[in-house]
């Protein structure tokens, strides 16, 4: 049971995202009673510190790069560093170089999933502009766990793929342009969360399994994959291991024992890339 306000805000974005994030941050009052976590798809050589400085110009909130084992603090904006996932636990942030999900690291789904698993109905999930569909599965986890779901209006997004995917696959609570999102998030953050929503066990199980793999100091694997789904007839294009098709929710997705995760689109892209590399070696 969760009875606090909606004090965990998780935001995912990709192409065109930094401009949208800055427009959103400048609308948020400094007294918003929430911790804000942002995953912006970044290349491995991106300067996370440069992005933090840019974001800080648009808000009075503290803005920082998330660090491993940070305590979750209110009135603070945490940005995932380049080439690292961020996961949430009850009170702390984990910053890990785990397997890619949907071809990305950092990826949006791991953050959203862990937020849903540990914070349930206190979470507000936000999808902004971006290509492909990372974040849809995580948004579904937030919705199933009783949190609020907010998506940038695709007509307002520089790249509408991610917003459209979320809208197509999840019953989204609010679809708004960025210029209206700050006021909405402030209002939602002050709304008491539901006290009657229990986080589905499959979301908790997957989040904890992934956390164990991503935080392991040695090569580790997810145990008991059969508990998550059914074995697929093809292999993981990144590590060659077996794939399992996960049956929870509306979105078809796949995961291997090493932790790589895909939706249908990202799996097909990875398989095509692997085939092309083999043919042109």
Out of 134, 156, 161, 202, pick the active-site residue: 134
Does 77 lie in the same domain as 120?
Answer: yes
Domain-terminating residue out of 189, 218, 236: 189
Query: What's the whole-model pTM score?
Result: 0.90
Q: Is residue 196 part of a domain?
A: no
pLDDT at 272 over 80: no
State which of 136, 165, 189 marks the end of a domain: 189
Please indicate whether residue 14 is annotated as part of the active site. Answer: yes
Q: How many structural domains compose the chain?
A: 2
- Per residue in 112-157, pLDDT (tens digit) is 999 999 999 999 999 999 999 999 999 999 999 999 999 999 999 9
Annotated catalytic residue, options 14, 121, 145, 193: 14
- Kindly list the distances between the CA atom of residue 233 and the CA atoms of 192, 209, 229, 230, in Å, as whole numbers in the listed order: 45, 22, 13, 10
CATH number of the domain encompassing residue 132: 3.40.50.180
Count CB-CB contacts under 10 A for residue 7. 19
- Rounded-to-integer distance, Cα 226 and Cα 256, Å: 11
Confidence band, pLDDT 50/70/90 cuts, at residue 218? low
The verdict on whether 221 is a catalytic residue reads no
For 226-237, write each residue's pLDDT tens digit: 777 888 988 999
Are 144 and 246 members of one domain? no
Spatial strand order of the sheet with 253-256 comes to 229-235, 242-246, 253-256, 261-263
Average pLDDT of the residues of the chain: 91
Catalytic-residue membership of 75? no
């Amino acid at each position: 049971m969760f009875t606090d306000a909606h004090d965990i805000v998780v935001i995912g974005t990709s192409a065109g995202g930094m401009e949208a994030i800055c427009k959103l941050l400048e609308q948020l009052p400094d007294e918003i009673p929430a911790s804000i976590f942002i995953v912006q798809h970044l290349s491995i050589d991106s300067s996370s510190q440069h992005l933090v400085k840019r974001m800080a110009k648009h808000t009075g909130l503290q803005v920082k790069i998330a660090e491993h084992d940070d305590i979750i603090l209110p009135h603070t904006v945490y940005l995932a560093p380049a080439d690292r996932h961020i996961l949430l636990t009850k009170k702390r942030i984990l910053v890990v170089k785990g397997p890619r999900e949907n071809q990305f690291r950092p990826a949006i789904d791991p953050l959203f999933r862990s937020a849903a698993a540990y914070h349930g109905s206190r979470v507000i999930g936000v999808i902004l502009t971006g290509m492909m569909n990372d974040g849809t599965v995580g948004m579904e986890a937030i919705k199933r766990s009783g949190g609020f779901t907010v998506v940038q209006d695709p007509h307002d997004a520089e790249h509408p793929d991610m917003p459209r995917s979320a809208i197509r696959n999840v019953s989204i609570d609010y679809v708004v342009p960025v210029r209206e999102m700050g006021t909405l998030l402030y209002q939602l953050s002050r709304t008491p969360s539901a006290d009657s929503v229990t986080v589905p066990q499959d979301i908790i199980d997957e989040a904890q399994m992934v956390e164990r793999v991503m935080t392991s100091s040695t090569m580790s694997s997810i145990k008991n994959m059969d508990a998550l789904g059914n074995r697929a007839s093809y292999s993981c294009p990144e590590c060659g291991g077996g794939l399992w098709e996960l049956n929870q929710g509306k979105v078809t997705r796949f995961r291997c024992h090493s932790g790589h995760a895909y939706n249908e689109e990202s799996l097909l892209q990875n398989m095509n890339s692997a085939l092309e590399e083999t043919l042109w070696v």
